[in-house]
Structure 1
């Protein structure tokens, strides 16, 4: 049996779990049932400004309140959202979006100029968006972001209030999917310019999505209500959505068991064996990767031999079987299974593995780097954000490195926002990380590690890698695109600024009376637009 099926089959498995479905027009009479869902997203968001947000908790919360030009449905197909239609020129360069008649939650009309303003704001150098590179497909965008071009030269234009025109540098089949991503979400220009902290207060969070925020108890919960001004309000059945921000998985599990939560985003791995056979446990597909970053600006991690030695001395099968216990797969490459290659086969199956565990080679490399049997290895720490499962992984790897290489490392548990800041500032030695694709294409993984990329966060740079990524982004020839990405991934794993550990699954707990909750295998944790309580 194959380890993971192709993208279409992955998505079908997700739809058939029984807690998803795309029956947005369900006509069941639930008028006597309180349409409230209480859901734990596991962390306080770092920000709810879509131009600056990067984490899955942030993006998940924003998705409930904001509509991009498009939105993914339960089958992970792009559907019209703020845009009711679009046209793509024959050469694949010019996208013309026709916006529907929609309103912001303050009654203002949603206009094409709102999108022009929002995208340029995310691109502006002073915004310092880590995701600005996702706009670089647009002509003039990269030059503006780097300070080498003008805002006026970015090929974004509001032809009228309801027509947005975008011109790309080269055909990019992944571009349409990006218009559903959080950094592409619009903000209200008048509100944003009038209050630079508009996104931090429910009273000023003006939105255009299915729900609007009514309260925010920091590190506790965000309460949303149905947005009556939403263009598709008739298909939004929930009246209220409470999103909890509880990092401790044991606390979250107790709240679920006590009836204080209807859905948990993640479960402590130690609970999974006892939950087998429980109808409320769902192991969802997740096209994401769990990995460790090495800070290559810190010694001894500036030495590729050290990085490789550490990566080769980890027993990934033991991690997934004895620690995670949720059907995860060991990762010997970076891009997960579930993405189509140029031949319609799976990208990962075509690319194969780039390394295997090898203790003999690991010891040899460490000795060549000047640390035979770990002697003289400097103090170092594994940093992870507060989370029981991350701690268990770190402890297991700590023991493996001690046993296999004679290396002592410490582990550091830090709060989510501190973790994000330290990673961005290269204030760590080794840091746990996870990556979920922003859109359904391998490029969502590959372009992370270009020199000075906003999500690189390792200090690593390789000119040939950068050239291959640029080559893949500069052509509409899918054969060239995929070949370039495979070559770039090989370089990444040859130089090991990261150590892939395993490909995710997504174990959740969800009450059986919750219907039409979309749990996508990428980009966000959940979408409640079509959800309801039966």
Structure 2
């Protein structure tokens, strides 16, 4: 039986990372990144702001429906609109959200005690029925939700009081409460969502949530405006900005010009080239924060010649990661040793076990031309060049893929680079038909919650939505399930470590780097978080003016 506890006490802050004022970085050096350069937030801004203009460098969202978002742009916007039952903090810890308390009463019962004072944007109260509906909607096939598997262990979701919802489970599931801090845990108004139907979350259908901002206008091809929710329930996060306008700027040069001129106030995922241009202008500051992002090269389908693990190993052996990090990421990254980077578990009670297991993995080797050629020879001649996909207009991806292309050529592997438009690139991850004529994709992925096992399961278990090549190791699947269902943090970490030792050398992926979050903010603003946790928290509510 699990001890009675609130899961919100399980995760603590990241002690290694200083929560300090902004840090301006040099982005052209060749020294390894120093952890002391990383911060998780910026100095609070004091003054109200009429409007903030923020860039979306990955383009226009296809939807803002919390059940369907799984990419940078929609999550950057939606995190400010739809509150979640638990809340991600800038240091990757969790705190109460729409549920003031979340806790297991036994191994089969997870109780959500809801706040009694929350209203939707239209003024109607949030009810347990809205919460039940929002969660049940995740596993309704008609929703086509991305995260319904988080409910795999749940047998019932019921309103058990005027401000309470209870989830009954087949087994203890340590992922479930953490998932409530992601868009999976967002609460939508039942009546509005049902009326909007399939259009919910689109420019036509709109949204009805409880967040600090409400959806204002959505001008397809141009921008999305969100407006301050003057009746927001959380007094500590009442927005100072009356409006935040998101602009879709996928071209790095256009983005740089807009930031230099002040036409755009800020952006997350600032490209390295833009950072170099902005570093010494005095327009604003570049901030580096910890991140759960991973840069991977992965095959898109089992039939592709790229799925042969010998070819993947050959590519891994020939790529100079230090040079890649220096020349493409401006030094603001570190080599990645497995699927999940360490900040993911930094707030876990068993973080030391996770750290030790990750440290024990073999490090990225220096380029070995002879070994790479041997592996490529074992795989046999390619019937054709391999097609590798990247997002169109993203200079960072183009530079990285060009770097990989040149390295691959040394061992007789020809790569053709195909740039996909934002909508097609986003669809690639969820639509097999888009991947059919591709061989590889350079992914800038990320872990959305402090739970490595759930992320890895999506990539290496038979049920995983990102397991595109049919990877299947029964022992890995068993250990990941054990990590998910163990109520003891140490036991969970141990099971994950054993799985990690098995899948790391065999998973169909080339591990490249884990990047730091790079954010730019105009000097007239402050308050925004600098860590990658912004993807799951109402970051724009923290923005305020500086008077500059």
Q: TM over 0.5: same fold?
A: yes
Structure 1 match to 2:483: 472
Superposed counterparts of 1:69-80, under 5 Å: 69-80=85-96
- Which among 384, 395, 415 is matched to residue 378 of structure 1? 384
Structure 1 match to 2:219: 217
Structure 1 match to 2:312: 307
- Which among 81, 84, 87 is matched to residue 68 of structure 1? 84
Superposed counterparts of 1:7-406, under 5 Å: 8-13=14-19, 17=23, 21=41, 28=46, 30=47, 34-42=49-57, 43-89=59-105, 91=107, 93-136=109-152, 138-139=153-154, 154-196=155-197, 197-201=199-203, 204-232=206-234, 235-273=238-276, 275-276=278-279, 280-338=285-343, 339-340=345-346, 343-345=350-352, 347-352=354-359, 353-354=361-362, 356=365, 357-371=367-381, 376-386=382-392, 387-403=394-410, 405-406=411-412
| More displaced 10-residue stretch of structure 1: 300-309 or 69-78 | 69-78
| SS of residue matched to 1:280 | strand
Q: Distance in 2 between matches of 1:173 and 1:129?
A: 21
| More displaced 10-residue stretch of structure 1: 34-43 or 188-197 | 34-43
Tell me by how many angstroms 1:90 deviates.
5.5
Tell me by how many angstroms 1:274 deviates.
5.1
Runs of 5+ in structure 2 lacking a partner? 1-11, 25-38
* Structure 1 contact 65–209 (Cα < 8 Å) conserved: yes
Structure 2 match to 1:3: none
Q: Per the alignment, do residues 205 and 441 of structure 1 end up closer, same or farther by CA in structure 2, a change over 3 Å counting?
A: closer
Structure 2 match to 1:492: 503
| SS of residue matched to 1:52 | coil
Q: Per the alignment, do residues 66 and 163 of structure 1 end up closer, same or farther by CA in structure 2, a change over 3 Å counting?
A: same
Q: For 1:21-74, what per-residue CA distance to the aligned partner results, in whole angstroms no more than 9, with x for missing partners?
A: 5888x8x5x3xx534221112211121111111112111211111111122334
* Structure 2 contact 336–511 (Cα < 8 Å) conserved: yes
Structure 2 match to 1:142: none
Superposition RMSD in Å: 2.7
Tell me by how many angstroms 1:107 deviates.
2.5
* Structure 1 contact 294–498 (Cα < 8 Å) conserved: yes
Is 1:413 the equivalent of 2:419? yes
| More displaced 10-residue stretch of structure 1: 181-190 or 97-106 | 97-106
* Structure 1 contact 309–366 (Cα < 8 Å) conserved: yes
| SS of residue matched to 2:517 | strand
Runs of 5+ in structure 1 lacking a partner? 1-5, 140-153
Q: Distance in 1 between matches of 2:416 and 2:297?
A: 15
Q: Distance in 1 between matches of 2:170 and 2:523?
A: 47
Tell me by how many angstroms 1:10 deviates.
4.8
Tell me by how many angstroms 1:296 deviates.
4.3
Q: For 1:297-343, what per-residue CA distance to the aligned partner results, in whole angstroms no more than 9, with x for missing partners?
A: 12323422122212222111111011221421122322212224765
- Which among 522, 531, 534 is matched to residue 543 of structure 2? 531
Q: Distance in 2 between matches of 1:110 and 1:510?
A: 34
Tell me by how many angstroms 1:410 deviates.
0.3
* Structure 1 contact 7–346 (Cα < 8 Å) conserved: no
